[in-house]
Amino acid sequence: MTKNDGVDKVARFQAALNQLTERMAADRYVLAIVLVGSLSAETIWRRETLGLWIIEADGVSRRLPSDGQDERVFRILVENGINIHAELIPRSRFKKMVEGASRTAFSCNFFARRQLVYSKDPSIDTWFQQADSIATKDQERELLTFSTWTIHAHRHARKRLDLKGDLELAAQEIVGAAHSVAHTEIIRQGQVWEQDVIYRAIEGAPELFQTIYLDVLAKRKNRRVLSTALDAIDAYLDTHYRAHLKPLLDYLKKQNRVVPLSEMSDHFAFTQ
């Protein structure tokens, strides 16, 4: 995609957003619209759809059988040839999201900016401004999430290498772990980054990612290269585990007992 192509695509997406917003503004039940993910020439190349939150008056949208029992309701719309993935959010649930009382609590997305593009409810304006910021709890939760993914990929890579001797699949798992570490580094910096995460992480920690990512991709796959990468990931996890696993460690300390995994999963599903 050329620079001009990117500019043209941004213009088409923006026109579709403006057109949809104008139509929905005439609907008295639509209270606000939030754009998820910015429209910029740097990131538009990977966009296939517009992502929106449509905040509406309570009790308006009729649930469909395909919605199941999930409290979240999604609809696919088309505006001026652009596909739109919209989540319909009743006002009362949006308030709970902001307050952290909903399982789908409003928290910072470190990899997609949000913009309130339309609102006729001053309370929603205030709630959005209060919630759309990076909070310590957001960082702690996301660090825990990506650290568990890194641990999972690391364990599987080690088994592939040591037990199966499968260099190819071990390398794939290591690359996956490296991407999780990259996301972790962005979250640690407390910033929202919509472009390619791995490149940003390489800039911030070149030596680490040379070992766990670039060497694994570029060098001939052998046990030494892969073992070195796994050791580096292991050292990274060991260095940062107190900060990255803080919600889990705090929970276990408070419980002061052996906690069943099902109980632990239930706790974090409804409190994070």
The single-letter DSSP state of residue 85 is E
Q: Out of 76, 110, 131, pick the residue that ends a domain.
A: 131
pLDDT in tens, 79-128: 999 999 999 999 998 988 877 644 445 555 666 688 899 999 999 999 88
CA distance 223 to 152: 20
Do 123 and 173 lie in one domain? The reply is no
pLDDT of residue 148: 94
Residue 164 has pLDDT above 60, yes or no: yes
Q: How confident is the model at residue 66 (pLDDT cuts 50, 70, 90)?
A: confident
Helix (H, G, I), strand (E, B) or coil at 51: strand
Length of the chain equals 272
Domain assignment present for 272: no
Could you list the beta-strand ranges (E) of the chain.
30-36, 49-56, 73-79, 82-90, 114-119
pTM above 0.85, yes or no: no
Residue 40's domain comprises 3-131
Do 140 and 257 lie in one domain? The reply is yes
Do 185 and 160 lie in one domain? The reply is yes
Instruction: Tell me what the mean pLDDT of segment 207-223 comes to.
Output: 95
Distance between terminal CA atoms of the chain?
39
Do 125 and 173 lie in one domain? The reply is no
pLDDT, greater one: 208 or 272: 208
Q: Domain total for the chain?
A: 2
Q: How confident is the model at residue 245 (pLDDT cuts 50, 70, 90)?
A: very high
Q: Out of 131, 152, 177, pick the residue that ends a domain.
A: 131
CA distance 154 to 226: 11
Q: Which of 102, 140, 94, 117 is nearest to 250 (CA)?
A: 140
Spatial strand order in the sheet of 49-56: 73-79, 82-90, 49-56, 30-36, 114-119
Mean pLDDT lowest among 12-21, 93-102, 148-157: 93-102
pLDDT of residue 102: 46
pLDDT, greater one: 192 or 123: 123
Q: Out of 131, 149, 184, pick the residue that ends a domain.
A: 131
pLDDT of residue 127: 86
Q: Per DSSP, what are the bridge partners of residue 35?
A: 52, 115
